[in-house]
């Protein structure tokens, strides 16, 4: 029997507000344990939470960017469970009335576009962090993270392959980064993903029993864990067994998932509306104001790059995945309006350089002005494309302008006709045998002559002129 995988993701994004969701404690990372805490986030009796308005603003940005409907009156609920990293004994979250519902995100895998539904986006607070001492039979708790604002983005079970799940997750990350509301860092945990997966017979409409995969702290692991789990579930069913609903932990070292605990049901959490917090009332003017303030979003930017700059789809995707790359590209364009040339250099030499140095484009050692000026030098025939690579390496190293490197190293192209002619004639004179073979029809030898001229000029002769003069001199007796 053929099986079809069905996947739905729950993504938690840590919002980049300066203070926590219900108190004034800082959200900044890396402080000594338990120094960013107060009676509210420590869950002391008698304290009252006060909602941080910026959290709502940030979450609304995400909701609007993903085409969700905002709940005009949404509510906080208490999700009750016991765990040592949760001092109150309940997490403030949203349940029946979330901030937003019914949105979507478009993805593309193997040139196939697909729309993934979003069930809901809701607000909640993060828990603390347990630190397990490997040498002692104790664990410690750091409550600095307690009360950090999160949004949870729940997808419909619309994904069918691990690659689609990866593409969806990348698209969400691109959006939160464009909006400036979250770092989107899976490795550091500011962007976390639980993957729900089941299988069903091909053609069936009914959902199978799902497992929930946790501990997926990289894009690679999300896809690896899903691939493993599809295989595991198929084997169970093929052997006549049934999949049990449970949470499973991805073990990267062993390349497999392992059972963690039975899956809780909503009633296990005894959800109820939080009596300490008023409903969040969001009126139309607030929604309009937030909509107007949204930046150009990745899909829109990509479409504009294709339309205005006539870039291929691939280039437009590459350049718009990060807002910083798009900005870099457009700042080059202002100085040197040749989109495809710029895009080639950003995707080629610049990307290779950044990759080698482990830097983002915002930290690029070659400024957009310098890249634009370098391309202008090629365009104006001051240097050849080949010499440009040398100049690029140099400006990356020192931050000098391309103009000054070309001058200091005397790299200006030889474009003087008589100078090139002289060299061409010398090359022809030095290689009578090759000239004869060429004239007898072995036209492939042209490359050899070009190479000789370039060698004689240390790569500085203008290639177009070399070709033209070579033609003249070789074809005529
Ligand atoms: P819970 O809190 O119980 O995990 P949620 O509604 O928060 O439930 O999340 C459920 C997630 O699991 C959603 O992304 C949904 O699309 C996905 N899902 C639900 N049922 C299935 C299923 N049978 N197979 C795969 N994914 C599923
Ligand atoms: Mg869940
Ligand atoms: Zn606090």
The reported pLDDT for the residue numbered 421 is: 86
- Residue-averaged pLDDT of the chain: 93
Which pLDDT belongs to residue 25?
97
Backbone torsions φ then ψ of 181, nearest 5 degrees: -105, -10
pLDDT of residue 338: 95
- Does residue 196 sit within a domain? yes
194 forms beta bridges with 10
Determine, yes or no, domain membership for 412.
Answer: no
Give the closest residue to 123 by CA, choosing from 59, 194, 183.
59
The answer to the question of residue 411 being in a domain is no
Query: Is the pLDDT reported for residue 32 higher than 60?
Result: yes
331 and 247 belong to one structural domain: no
CATH number (domain holding residue 452): 1.10.10.410
Q: Are residues 281 and 314 in the same domain?
A: no
As a whole number of angstroms, the distance between CA 205 and CA 471 comes to 69
pLDDT band at 465 (very low <50, low <70, confident <90, very high): confident
Ligand nearest to the CA of 263: 1
Residue 262 and residue 305 in one domain = no
> What is the number of domains present in the chain?
3
Give me the pLDDT at residue 266, please: 65
Q: Are residue 253 and residue 309 in the same domain, yes or no?
A: no
Is residue 59 lining ligand 1, measured as CB closer than 6 Å?
no
**Is the Cα dihedral 439, 444, 446, 449 positive or negative?**
negative
Determine, yes or no, domain membership for 409.
Answer: no
Domain that holds residue 25: 3-288
Cα-to-chain-centroid distance, residue 315: 15
> Has residue 405 been placed in a domain?
no
Q: Could you tell me the distance, in angstroms and rounded to a whole number, from the CA of residue 196 to the centre of ligand 1?
A: 6
Considering the domain architecture, whether residues 335 and 459 belong to the same structural domain is answered as no
Is 304 in the same domain as 347? yes
Mean pLDDT value across residues 145-161: 97
pLDDT tens-digit profile of 307-324? Answer: 999 999 999 999 999 999
pLDDT at 477: 56
pLDDT at 441 over 60: yes
Q: Is residue 277 part of a domain?
A: yes
pLDDT in tens, 272-298: 999 999 999 999 999 999 999 999 999
pLDDT band at 446 (very low <50, low <70, confident <90, very high): confident
Residues 365 and 453 in one domain: no
Each residue's pLDDT tens digit, 246-269:
999 998 888 898 888 776 676 789
Indicate whether residue 94 lines ligand 1 (CB < 6 A).
Answer: no
Name the residue of 103, 157, 267 to mutate for ligand 1: max ligand atoms within 8 A of Cβ.
157
- At 2, list the tokens: 């053929």
Highest average pLDDT, of 28-32, 85-89, 131-135, 435-439, comes from 85-89
> Which pLDDT tens digit goes with each residue over 33-73?
999 999 999 999 999 999 999 999 999 999 999 999 999 99
Residues 390 and 446 in one domain: no
Is 9 touching ligand 1 by the criterion CB < 6 Å? Answer: yes
Ligand approaching nearest to the C-alpha of 52:
3
Place of tokens 């090759």: 434
Query: Are 156 and 106 part of one and the same domain?
Result: yes
323 touches ligand 1 (CB under 6 Å): no
390 alpha carbon – ligand 3 mean position (Å): 54
Distance, CA of 229 to CA of 232 (rounded, Å): 5
Q: Is the distance from the beta carbon of residue 50 to the nearest atom of ligand 1 less than 6 Å? A: no
Q: Which of 347, 393, 351, 340 lies closest to 370, judged by CA?
A: 393
- 111 pLDDT band, cuts 50/70/90, is confident
**How much is the average pLDDT of 88-106?**
97
């Amino acid at each position: 029997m053929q099986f079809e995988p069905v996947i739905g993701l729950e993504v938690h994004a840590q919002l980049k507000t300066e203070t926590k969701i219900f108190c004034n404690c800082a959200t900044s990372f890396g402080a000594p344990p338990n120094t960013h805490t107060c009676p509210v986030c420590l869950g002391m009796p008698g304290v009252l939470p006060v909602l941080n308005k910026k959290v709502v603003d940030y979450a609304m940005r995400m909701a609007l960017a993903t085409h969700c409907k905002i709940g005009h009156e949404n509510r906080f609920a208490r999700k009750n469970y016991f765990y040592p990293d949760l001092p109150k004994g309940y997490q403030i979250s949203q349940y029946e009335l979330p901030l937003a519902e019914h949105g979507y995100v478009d993805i593309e895998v193997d040139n196939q576009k697909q729309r993934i539904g979003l069930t809901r986006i809701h607000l909640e607070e993060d828990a603390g962090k347990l630190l397990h001492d490997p040498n002692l039979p104790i664990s410690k708790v750091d409550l600095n993270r307690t009360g950090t604002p999160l949004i949870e983005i729940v997808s419909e079970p619309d994904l069918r392959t691990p690659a689609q799940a990866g593409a969806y997750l990348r698209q969400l990350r691109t959006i939160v980064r464009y909006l400036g509301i979250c770092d989107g860092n899976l490795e550091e945990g500011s962007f976390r993903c639980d993957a729900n997966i089941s299988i069903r017979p091909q053609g069936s409409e009914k959902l199978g029993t799902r497992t929930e995969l946790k501990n997926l702290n990289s894009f690679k692991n999300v896809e690896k864990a899903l691939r493993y789990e599809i295989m595991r579930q198929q084997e169970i069913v093929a052997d006549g067994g049934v999949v049990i609903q449970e949470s499973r932990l991805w073990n990267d070292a062993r390349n497999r998932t392992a059972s963690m605990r039975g899956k809780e049901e909503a009633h296990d959490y005894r959800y109820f509306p939080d009596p300490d917090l008023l409903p969040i009332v969001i009126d139309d003017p607030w929604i309009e104001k937030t909509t107007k303030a949204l930046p150009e979003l990745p899909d829109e930017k990509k479409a504009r790059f294709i339309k205005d700059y006539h870039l291929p789809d691939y280039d437009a995707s590459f350049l718009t995945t990060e807002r910083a790359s798009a900005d870099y590209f457009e700042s080059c364009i202002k100085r040197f309006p040749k989109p495809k040339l710029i895009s080639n250099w950003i995707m080629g030499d610049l990307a290779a350089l950044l990759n080698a140095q482990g830097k983002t484009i915002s930290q690029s050692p070659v400024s957009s002005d310098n890249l634009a000026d370098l391309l202008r030098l090629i365009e104006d025939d001051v240097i050849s494309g080949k010499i440009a690579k040398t100049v690029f390496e140099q400006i990356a190293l020192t931050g000098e302008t391309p103009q000054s490197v070309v001058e200091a190293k005397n790299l200006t192209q030889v474009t003087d006709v008589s100078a090139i002619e002289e060299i061409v004639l010398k090359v022809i004179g030095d290689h009578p045998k090759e000239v004869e073979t060429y004239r007898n029809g072995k036209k492939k030898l042209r490359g050899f002559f070009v190479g000789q001229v370039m060698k004689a000029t240390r790569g500085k002769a203008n290639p177009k002129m070399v070709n033209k003069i070579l033609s003249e001199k070789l074809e005529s007796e």
